[in-house]
């Protein structure tokens, strides 16, 4: 059964989304109104979307992934983490208003700081806080932080600075607060806990219909199970490292592996250095780098967390040193010369910003995503 839903688009992408949906035979509707504007030499009627950055789509709810993958789409409007269905009559009423020539006027009903929930109409169920009244309002995304250590606190600073609200913070001293009821208050969760708790936290997010961004490493033996659940409607974004620079480094690593692949005389090895509080070794970033090498260098089949002379294994040397920046070095060496690439993270800010950008990307989404989806790499 098809239902009307509201689709939140990128700024000035309403018609782009309509055109893209038409290409995949999804019925859509972007109500427009016209307004007389004064130009330098004349007045002219100009058409504008009635609901800026929103269009309507008519689909079976199980097919929402096709909407989320459409160019220009940010998210689908939800209420309590369920897709909001717009009654057919509401769409018909909008069409009647537009086609009947009724004048559409803007009106301000709120003051700065007001909290509100849209109770009817195409945006039914959307809740948030009024930030400003300069002709625009901004809906705050509600975030749950699962893991409130140094990284969690850095993420909180950036998320709040971007206008988001932290509705749940789970650290070692309040684990009992991590309930389905509390989690369901969030639009998206960011998971930076421990390798032992990450999988269970992800499962609770899935059960609560809350998309989750995961940066915890050391639990990847259960990744396939989580990815399979996203095919049934769960939302998961995983990255071993959220830094934009590191993800460019990943691509550089693949390119170097491809260039070096024909040259058998070079031994490739990796070193990763982290602070003593990092629990897993090798790091998730190192494992991602190793996978990039395996993709381009068919000689290497697996990694070991120690130096090795094995032809088909990649040695990863892990060092844990107090108060050092996270560092990854990939080295190719023979008796003639040495080639290496290196990335050093001077602080957590780049990592935290990437996690917040990922959470904003995941708001309203289902499916499995990574940094390549976010950055378009």
Long-range contacts of 315-319 (CB under 8 A, 24+ apart): 315/269, 315/270, 316/269, 316/270, 316/271, 316/272, 316/282, 316/286, 316/290, 317/269, 317/270, 317/271, 317/272, 318/272, 318/273, 318/274, 318/281, 318/282, 318/283, 318/286, 319/271, 319/272, 319/273, 319/274
Q: CA–CA separation, 285 vs 288, rounded Å?
A: 5
Measured CA to CA in angstroms, residue 327 lies from 106, 252, 324, 372 at distances of 53, 15, 8, 21
Q: Position of tokens 């989750």?
A: 212
Q: CA–CA separation, 77 vs 70, rounded Å?
A: 15
Q: Which structure tokens are listed for 340?
A: 């290496």
| Secondary structure percentages of the chain, helix, strand, coil, to 5 | 30, 30, 40
Q: Position of tokens 């990847």?
A: 220
Q: Which structure tokens are listed for 242?
A: 């959220």
- Return the sign of the alpha-carbon dihedral for residues 205, 230, 190, 274: positive
Among 185, 267, 278, 296, which one carries the catalytic annotation? 278
Q: CA–CA separation, 85 vs 188, rounded Å?
A: 20
Can 278 be counted among the known catalytic residues?
yes
Can 274 be counted among the known catalytic residues?
yes
Between CA 112 and CA 116, with CA 114 as vertex, the angle to 5 degrees is: 140
Among 274, 300, 328, 365, which one carries the catalytic annotation? 274
Across 135-157, b (16+ Cβ under 10 Å) vs e yields eebebbbbbbbbbbeebbebbbe
Inter-residue contact 61 to 76 (CB < 8 Å): no
Q: Which are the catalytic amino acids?
A: 274, 278
């Amino acid at each position: 059964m098809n239902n009307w839903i509201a689709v939140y688009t990128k700024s000035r992408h309403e018609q782009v989304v309509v055109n893209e949906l038409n290409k995949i035979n999804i019925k859509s509707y972007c109500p427009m109104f016209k307004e007389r504007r004064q130009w330098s030499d004349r007045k002219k009627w100009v058409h504008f979307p009635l609901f800026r950055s929103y269009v309507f789509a008519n689909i079976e709810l199980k097919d929402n992934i096709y909407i989320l993958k459409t160019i220009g789409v940010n998210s689908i409007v939800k209420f309590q983490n369920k897709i909001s269905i717009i009654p057919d009559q509401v769409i018909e009423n909008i069409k009647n208003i537009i086609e009947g020539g009724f004048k559409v006027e803007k009106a301000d009903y709120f003051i700065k700081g007001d909290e509100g929930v849209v109770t009817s109409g195409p945006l039914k169920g959307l809740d948030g806080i009024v930030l400003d009244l300069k002709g625009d309002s901004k809906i705050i995304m509600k975030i749950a932080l699962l893991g409130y250590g140094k990284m969690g606190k850095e993420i909180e600073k950036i998320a709040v600075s971007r206008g988001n609200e932290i509705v749940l913070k789970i650290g070692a001293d309040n684990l009992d607060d991590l309930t389905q009821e509390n989690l369901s208050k969030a639009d998206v969760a960011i998971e930076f806990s421990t390798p032992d708790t990450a999988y269970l936290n992800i499962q609770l997010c899935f059960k609560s219909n809350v998309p989750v961004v995961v940066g915890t490493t050391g639990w990847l033996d259960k990744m396939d199970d989580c990815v399979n659940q996203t095919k049934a409607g769960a939302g998961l974004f995983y990255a071993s490292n959220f830094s934009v620079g590191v993800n460019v480094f990943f691509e550089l690593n693949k390119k170097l592996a491809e260039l070096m692949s024909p040259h058998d005389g070079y031994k490739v090895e990796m070193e990763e250095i982290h602070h003593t509080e990092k629990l897993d070794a090798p790091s998730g970033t190192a494992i991602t780098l190793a996978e990039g090498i395996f993709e381009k260098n068919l000689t290497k089949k697996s990694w070991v967390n120690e130096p090795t002379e094995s032809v088909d294994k990649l040695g990863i040397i892990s060092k844990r040193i107090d108060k050092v920046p996270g560092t990854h070095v990939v080295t190719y060496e023979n008796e003639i010369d040495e080639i290496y690439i290196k990335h050093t993270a001077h602080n957590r800010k780049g990592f935290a910003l990437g996690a917040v950008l990922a959470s904003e990307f995941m708001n309203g989404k289902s499916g499995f995503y990574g940094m390549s989806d976010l950055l378009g790499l």
